[in-house]
Amino acid sequence: MWLDEETFKCIVAHAPLVSIDLIVENGEGKILVGRRKNPPAKGFLFVPGGRIFKNETIEEAFRRITFQELGKEIDAASANFWGVYEHFYKDSFFGDEFSTHYVVLAYKLKVTDSLPLLNSQHSEYLWLRIEELLNRKDVHVYAKAYFRRGQ
């Protein structure tokens, strides 16, 4: 369920958001990242994802987010749970007035066919090898954290 702007602003200002991030790997072992158009993390390359809505199951959210972010509805059962992460940003979608806190459920999935990539949240998409992703300054530190597990 989409919230009106004032309600969403109040929630972001006072509570953590729960979201799903998608670590999408293609047949060449490259990871999908998109350049974010909106804060937080505006201008950085980041993995696709989205927040879970109230009264939406994780499975329902996963299917909705994969459709919105990748242009293809995918079941969570076809992905591997990658872990729980926390992301803390000094800004929010509403500017610098308050911070944003995400509790993120990360899932890794492999795709073998091309994706439409229709999302309006990103200005461009790139498929990067993990080494390249880790070495680029324009990939957000939180996106890099998914590939530094156990280091």
Q: Flag whether 69 is marked binding.
A: yes
Residue 39, in any domain of the structure? yes
In a domain, 19, yes or no: yes
Summarised one tens digit per residue, pLDDT across range 22-45 is 999 999 999 999 999 988 999 999
- Once rounded to an integer, what is the mean pLDDT over residues 56-80? 95
CATH code, 115: 3.90.79.10
* Domain interval for residue 39: 5-146
pLDDT value at 151 more than 50 = no
Enumerate residues 6+ apart whose C-beta is below 8 A from 36: 42, 43, 44, 45, 46, 121, 122, 140
5 is in an annotated binding site: no
- Hey, what are 61's tokens? 């959210």
Residue 49 lies in a domain: yes
Query: Per the domain annotation, does 32 fall within a domain?
Result: yes
Single-letter code of the amino acid located at 146: Y
Please indicate if the annotation marks 150 as binding a ligand: no
CA distance 120 to 14: 27
Pick from 12-21, 22-31, 55-64, 71-80: least confident: 12-21
* Residue 151 lies inside a defined structural domain of this protein: no
Instruction: Give 142's contacts (C-beta < 8 A, 6+ positions apart).
Output: 41, 46, 85, 87
